[in-house]
C-alpha cells in the first residue's frame, strides 16, 4: 500500500502530464479510501477560503481523506491567510493535493509553495521542454528505457510524432519493445524510427502484405476490405504492401543464399516477434512465389491508375489479385 504525505503541489506548464498525475492520484485515492474518502474541489469550491473551510471541516469517511484542488495557478498570495493555516495544521490521515496548470500569466503563488513545504509535503514541477530541446530530451528518455536513440532518429521521431512530450514518451516505450536483448542490439536509428512509428494505415497495409506472404487469403481479404471501408485509397495501400512484400522477398533470397536468420533479423529493424514471423513466412513462401507476387502488385498498381486491361472495378481487380497471390 502506498504511503502519502500531508500535502502536494504539482505545478508547471506541461498540462498533459499534470492531468495524468491528477488522474493517477485520484485512482490511488479511490482504491485506498473509496469514493467517500475523496473530495474534488473545482471552480468556486476551489477558491482559497473555500478550500480552507473544507480542510477544517469534519468528515465521517473512514481511513485516509484525500482532497484534490484544481486551479491553484489562480491563487494569489494575499488570499492565502486561512489556507496557509489550514494546510500547516491538517488533521491526521488527511492529504491535500494542489494542481496548478501554469502559463506566462498564472502561476502557483510563493506562499502556497511555503505552506506545502511547512506541512512536510512534496512539490513537483512538470514543465514542458522547448521545441529545440526535444531531440536531446528524447535521446535521454530512450537511454532511461534501455536503448540508444541516434540524433537523426530523435529528430525523425519528433518530426513524425509531434512535440507533445507524453506522445513522444509513448512512442519511445513502443520503440523499446522493438529491441531484442538476445541479439545484443540496443540502437534505434532513423530507419527504425520510420518503420516502428508508422501510421495506422501503414500498419494495416502491412497486415495485408504479411497475410500475402503467409499465404493466408482470408486474412488478406479481410484486412484489405477493412482498409477500404475506412476510406484508404488503393494506390496508397499498394505502396506499403509492395514495400513489405519486397522486404519479404529479400529475406527469402538471403535465406536461400545461406544467411543465418539471426543475421537477417538484425537487418530488418522491426519488432522482434514481427521479424521472426516475417522470416518464417518468407522461408515457407520462397523467393519465386514472392517475386511473382511483386509482379502482381505492380500490375494491380497499373490497373488502379487506369492503365491496365479489363473493365472491372478496382476493388474487384484487387480481390482477384489477392486470390492469385495466395494460391
Map out the domains of the chain with their CATH numbers: 7-125 (3.40.50.300), 131-196 (1.10.8.60), 200-325 (1.20.272.10)
pLDDT at 310 (0 to 100): 44
Residue of 272, 234, 278, 239 whose CA lies nearest to 255:
278
Go through 294-307 and write b for each residue having 16 or more CB atoms within 10 A of its CB, e for each that does not: bebbebbbebbeee
How does pLDDT run across 298-321, given as a tens digit for each residue?
Answer: 888 887 766 544 444 778 888 888
C-alpha cell at 114: 511555503
pLDDT at 39 (0 to 100): 94
Whole-angstrom Cα distance, residue 248 to residue 47? Answer: 63
User: What is the DSSP annotation of 259-312?
Assistant: --HHHHHHHH-S-HHHHHHHHHHHHHHHHHHHHHHHHHHHHHHHHHTT-SSS--
pLDDT at 180 (0 to 100): 56
How does pLDDT run across 87-104, given as a tens digit for each residue?
Answer: 999 998 999 999 999 988
- The HSE-up count of residue 159 (CA atoms within 13 Å, CB side) is 9
pLDDT at 195 (0 to 100): 63
Residue of 61, 58, 1 whose CA lies nearest to 32:
1
| DSSP β-ladder status, 148-149 and 7-12 | unpaired
> Which parts of the chain sit beneath pLDDT 70?
1-2, 61, 178-185, 190-191, 194-203, 269, 271, 305-312
Which DSSP category does 326 fall into? Answer: T
Amino acid at each position: 500500500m502506498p504511503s502519502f504525505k500531508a500535502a502536494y503541489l504539482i505545478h508547471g506548464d506541461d498540462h498533459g502530464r499534470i492531468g495524468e498525475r491528477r488522474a493517477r492520484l485520484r485512482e490511488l485515492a479511490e482504491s485506498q479510501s473509496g469514493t467517500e474518502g475523496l473530495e474534488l474541489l473545482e471552480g468556486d469550491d476551489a477558491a482559497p477560503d473555500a478550500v480552507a473551510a473544507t480542510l477544517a471541516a469534519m468528515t465521517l469517511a473512514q481511513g485516509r481523506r484525500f482532497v484534490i484542488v484544481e486551479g491553484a495557478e489562480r491563487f494569489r498570495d494575499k488570499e492565502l491567510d486561512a489556507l496557509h493555516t489550514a494546510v500547516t495544521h491538517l488533521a491526521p490521515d488527511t492529504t491535500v493535493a494542489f494542481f496548478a496548470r501554469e502559463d506566462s500569466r498564472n502561476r502557483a503563488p510563493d506562499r502556497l509553495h511555503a505552506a506545502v513545504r511547512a506541512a512536510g509535503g512534496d512539490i513537483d514541477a512538470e514543465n514542458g521542454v522547448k521545441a529545440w530541446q526535444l531531440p536531446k530530451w528524447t535521446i535521454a528518455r530512450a537511454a532511461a528505457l534501455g536503448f540508444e536513440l541516434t540524433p537523426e532518429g530523435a529528430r525523425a521521431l519528433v518530426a513524425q510524432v509531434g512535440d507533445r512530450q507524453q506522445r513522444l514518451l509513448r512512442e519511445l516505450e513502443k520503440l523499446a519493445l522493438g529491441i531484442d536483448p538476445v541479439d545484443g542490439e540496443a540502437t534505434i536509428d532513423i530507419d527504425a524510427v520510420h518503420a516502428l512509428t508508422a501510421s495506422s494505415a501503414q500498419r494495416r497495409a502491412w497486415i495485408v502484405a504479411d497475410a500475402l506472404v503467409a499465404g493466408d487469403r482470408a486474412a488478406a481479404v479481410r484486412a484489405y476490405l477493412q482498409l477500404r471501408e475506412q476510406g484508404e485509397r488503393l494506390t496508397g495501400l499498394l505502396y506499403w504492401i509492395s514495400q513489405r512484400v519486397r522486404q519479404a522477398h529479400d529475406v527469402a533470397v538471403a535465406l536461400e543464399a545461406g544467411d543465418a536468420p539471426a543475421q537477417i533479423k538484425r537487418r530488418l529493424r522491426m519488432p522482434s516477434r514481427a521479424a521472426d514471423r516475417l522470416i518464417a513466412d518468407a522461408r515457407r513462401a520462397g523467393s519465386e512465389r514472392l517475386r511473382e507476387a511483386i509482379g502482381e502488385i505492380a500490375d494491380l498498381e497499373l490497373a488502379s491508375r487506369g492503365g491496365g486491361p479489363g473493365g472491372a472495378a478496382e476493388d474487384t481487380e484487387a480481390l482477384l489479385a489477392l486470390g492469385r497471390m495466395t494460391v
